[in-house]
Structure 1
Amino acid sequence: MMATESLQAVCRVATADDVDTLFELIKGYAEQGIMLPRSKEALLRQISTFVVAEVGQEVVGCGALTRLGSELVEIRSLGMTEGYKGLGIGSKLVDFLIAQAIEQGIPKIMALTYAVPFFLRNGFSIVDKEIFPEKVWTDCVNCPKQHACDEIAVLRVLIE
């Protein structure tokens, strides 16, 4: 890995060519029980919702933006390759996703996370996850942790 001061990460919308890399990155987190797994087929179907961070030609991080209603989007599958954590690349990804949400006119962005300090540093606040029925009824009903969810909900209001 290169020195931090020369590290230039660039965020871009993901393409079908990124599916294998996204799959491996997400699989690592899913094996730790901290992210839902995604099949390559699902990733390909949802590729337009994903963004990646690149250092040089290497994809080192990813995230996705999923619409939960006209007023709300969720940051999903936010992750970094080992060795690139703590360098500000995750914040660049979040900023890129926020810009997309604002461009779409969506006033609120949320996430369910274990990385609460990261999201607090990026302008989010901790909220009660029950205020997101859109999330609960679309995804949580299929989650193995549904009745013992230990993730923390965070929210950032983008447009007042």
Structure 2
Amino acid sequence: MSVTIVCRQAHTADVEALYELIQGYAAKGIMLPRSREALTRGIDSFVVAEDGGKLIGCGSLCRLGNDLVEIRSLGIAEGYKGQRIGSRLVEALIQEARTQGIPKVMALTYEVSFFQKNGFEIVDKEIFPEKVWTDCVNCPKQQCCDEIAVLRKIG
């Protein structure tokens, strides 16, 4: 029997599974950690993918200005990578940005080719002062950031 993978809005009941998935990436230094409290407060910004009721992927949107949102905390559970689940999550997040009337979606990433396949272009990080002053100012990698900025215009 084949179970269909579903993308949906996250719920408070997803917090623990979100926390575990994000912590796995954070432990490798490729995603910022999020506390359970922060996840609970920001649960409305998350979209999740599930397979038979098991949370297998996530992503969130963070508003950085009137015309800009950032895709954050995009991750897929081991064993599910390479099945276009990440692309489905990105499309769900882009649709949410469209619904909110926000014309630009950005991300900081190590997975540049993934984002390029999803319609993003590499851009200079410095064009996002909203991001720099919101998050980067507190990041331990601030002075030696090795993530690549990508942007997709949808408006």
- Normalised by the length of structure 1, the TM-score is 0.95
What is aligned with 2:107? 111
Secondary structure of the 1:28 match is helix
Q: Show the counterpart of 2:36.
A: 40
Alignment counterpart, residue 54 of structure 1, candidates 21, 34, 50: 50
Q: CA deviation at 1:8?
A: 2.4
Aligned to 1:86: 82
Q: Cα deviations across residues 45-67 of structure 1 (Å, max 9, x unaligned)? A: 11111110011111100000000
Aligned to 1:14: 10
1:7 deviates by 5.6
Aligned partner of residue 79 in structure 2, secondary structure: coil
Taking the aligned partners of 1:7 and 1:103, their CA distance within structure 2 comes to 29
Counterpart of 1:145 in structure 2 is 141
Q: 1:101 aligns with which of 78, 97, 103?
A: 97
CA–CA separation in structure 2 for the residues paired with 1:8 and 1:111: 28
Give the AA of the match of 2:136. Answer: C
The number of residue pairs the alignment matches comes to: 155
User: Please, which of 22, 47, 70 is the counterpart of residue 26 of structure 1?
Assistant: 22
Match of 1:132 in 2: 128
Deviation beyond 4 Å, 4+ runs, structure 1 = none
- Supply the RMSD in Å over aligned alpha carbons: 0.9
